[in-house]
Amino acid sequence: MILGLDFPALVTLAVIVAIFVLIQLRGGIPIDGLFLAGLLVVISVGALSPAQALQGFANAGLITVAALLVVAAGLKSTGCIDWIAYRLIGQLETPYQLLVCLTPAILLLSAFFNNTPIVAILVPLLLTWCRQRGASPSKILMPVSFITILGGVCTLVGTSTNLIVNGLLVESGMKPMHLFELGFVGIPVALLGSLYILLIGYRFLPDRPDLVEKLDKEAREYLVELIVQPECPLAGKTVQQAGLRHLRGLFLVEIDRGDQVITPASPDDLILPGDRLVFTGVVTTIVDLVKIPGLVPAAELRYRLQEKGSPLRHLCEAVVSHSSPVIGQTIREANFRRLYNAAVIAVHRNGERLPTKIGDIELQPGDTLLLQTRPNFVSQFRHSRDFYLVAAIEGFEPPRHERAMVAGLIFAGYVLWLLVGAIPWVHQLSPVLGEPAIGALVAALLMVGCRCISPVQARSALDLQLILTIGAAIGLAKAMEQTGAATRIGHALVELCQGHPYWILAVVYGFASLLTEFITNNAVAVTLFPVVVAAGAELGIDPRPLIIGITVAASLSFLSPVGYATNLMVLGPGGYTPRDFLRLGIPLNILCFLIGIIVIPLVWPFHPMPK
């Protein structure tokens, strides 16, 4: 034995450490694949039986998360949140007024609703608002993401992490959390965190031009390459005659002609068939440009652009997600057109000018792509984990507004179900009443049955990567518990903190807060759960304060654009850099840490372990 651990326990710890390291070193490896592989390894060494390993996929919290993904898709497809957002932001004139008005609504929505679709819906609306008023989205989008994250820790259903930890509580024989239990610490964190953003942090935000459309200002750094075909009306004309000198929001960077590169292009330079024209420009100008007959995207010569009004082709923007299979590959290597039946027309990356050819651009998380697509692309990939944000430029699929009232009533019924479950004497009547998983499943079925969302859309809303990652992570946590690895780590933690529960709370809270910036928040909470339970047993105290600590800390990610899905969604449209997140996020993280370690022991004292 090494460090008091037998072979299965050592393998289990080695697997978990290896997973976390590989996620950082090899960003292209699918997270769900890593966790599933790790689960198979611990099964093979006898740390768990196959039945025990697969119990994680039957976790009530995981089932609730999956069902709520369908509910969220139903609310989104009917336009419920769009309607609320339009009512809130329509008459506001400055970014600060907008944030002050949106903050209470976002906190309330994100307390009961998955935060990813909230941000996915708000981003296009806010960008439109910025374009109309000449405002900078960089003053709005990051605060919206952070406030959404803060609202998620106010209730049991605010984030998937809360639900997963609650499922682990039930499986461990401990009292489950009621709907508003987390609110005792989550509401102070959300309110004080939001006040910090509005009163202090707002000053740290960059003031950058709109990266979607800059109106009369500097052109968006959106790289576009088009090849002039023989039938193109621009062929044989000079740049001046072709009208490419004074297009609003468009700049002709260079003309590539065989081995010759003409840069900068002058007004008298001739445009010839076969020339490759390289532009940077705003979306609306690009839309007009690519409709010119005979101009073909360089990356996809066979994917011809259609005339305006064509029912077969549409333009949309998509933000590449961290889990996309094209990460680390060039557009040409990924065979993007065949994979998604869409042509990459333009690429934008964090305000950078990309000097390479479009087909040779190696895609990264957060890249914004302008795509020419089939009419069903938005509906097909709206809920795909390959993209964090998919927004139509034209020809978008209209929401099912006639079902918006029905979807709203279904969601309100689900919240009422949870409220009923929070009443102490209700469980005496029936243990099913108020059960989150049952309510979520009923709501998901009603969304489909009432035609708020189609069965195909419901299935595509299920995030398979998320489900597999959580299920496998629960299995690995069970292996830590079964082999005694969690007990050993808990003992070491108690010795490190000299048996002081307050120090243990501070250490596990800080560790979870740091780890969640690099690893999925669900995996962080699930992995630390058996450790804090073991630490509580070592001290002879109720582990609930420590469990609450890791639950809250794992859900609060402000330091990194890749730490949380909503942060990555605003990275490209807001033109942010990682340094921008640190400037606003470091003080916010410290504030949340201080609130957490002060409030948690007051609400959940370190009582002796219940017999």
The closest alpha carbon to 206, from 350, 85, 364, belongs to: 350
Residue 138 predicted with pLDDT over 70? yes
Specify the higher pLDDT residue, 100 or 342: 100
As beta bridge partners, residue 348 has 222, 368
Predicted confidence band of residue 292 (pLDDT cuts 50, 70, 90):
low
**Cβ partners under 8 Å of residue 590, min gap 6:** none
How big is the chain by its Cα radius of gyration, in Å? 26
176, 126: one domain = yes
266, 173: one domain = no
273, 414: one domain = no
295, 420: one domain = no
Residue 111 included in any domain: yes
Task: Report pLDDT digits (tens) over 456-499.
Answer: 888 888 878 778 888 888 888 788 778 877 777 777 877 888 77
Give CA–CA dist 130/323, Å, rounded.
Answer: 29
Which of 352, 376, 392 terminates a domain? The answer is 392
299, 169: one domain = no
231, 258: one domain = yes
**Cβ partners under 8 Å of residue 495, min gap 6:** none
Give CA–CA dist 529/169, Å, rounded.
Answer: 9
DSSP for 442-455, written as a single string: HHHHHHHHTTSS-H
Residue 601 included in any domain: no
As beta bridge partners, residue 228 has 295
Whether the ω angle into residue 587 lies within 30 degrees of 0, i.e. cis, is no
Per the listing, tokens 């984030």 go with 159
Residue 158 included in any domain: yes
The residue-averaged pLDDT of 188-214 equals 81
Number of residues that this document lists for the chain: 611
306, 414: one domain = no
Q: Which two tokens stand for residue 530?
A: 């058996």
Residue 516 included in any domain: no
Predicted confidence band of residue 204 (pLDDT cuts 50, 70, 90):
confident
Q: Which two tokens stand for residue 379?
A: 């509906």
DSSP for 284-325, written as a single string: HHHHHHTTSTTEEETT-TTSPPPPTT-SS-EEEEEEEPTT-T
- State what percent of residues in the chain have pLDDT above 90: 15
387, 278: one domain = yes
CB 288 within 8 A of CB 226: no
87, 151: one domain = yes
Task: Report pLDDT digits (tens) over 520-553.
Answer: 788 788 888 988 998 888 888 899 999 999 999 9
Residue 226 included in any domain: yes
Residue 293 included in any domain: yes
Specify the higher pLDDT residue, 237 or 312: 237
DSSP for 250-291, written as a single string: EEEEEEEETTEEE-SPPTTPBP-TT-EEEEEE-HHHHHHHTT
Residue 298 included in any domain: yes
250, 196: one domain = no
Which of 367, 392, 417 terminates a domain? The answer is 392
CB 140 within 8 A of CB 211: no
Residue 299 predicted with pLDDT over 60? no
Q: State how many domains the chain has.
A: 2
117, 253: one domain = no
Q: Can you give the pLDDT at residue 313?
A: 52
Specify the higher pLDDT residue, 291 or 112: 112
Which of 375, 392, 409 terminates a domain? The answer is 392
The CA distances from residue 284 to 130, 222, 515, in Å, are 15, 12, 41
Per the listing, tokens 């708020």 go with 452
Classified as helix, coil or strand, 417 is helix
Residue 386: CATH number of its domain: 3.30.70.1450
Residue 73 included in any domain: yes
CB atoms under 10 Å from CB of 326, counted, come to: 23
Query: Which structural domain range is residue 378 located in?
Result: 222-392
As beta bridge partners, residue 2 has 5
Q: Can you give the pLDDT at residue 611?
A: 56
As beta bridge partners, residue 226 has 277, 297
pTM check: above 0.95: no
- State what percent of residues in the chain have pLDDT above 70: 78
Per the listing, tokens 């979306």 go with 283
CB 222 within 8 A of CB 315: no
237, 379: one domain = yes
Diameter of the chain measured on Cα atoms: 88
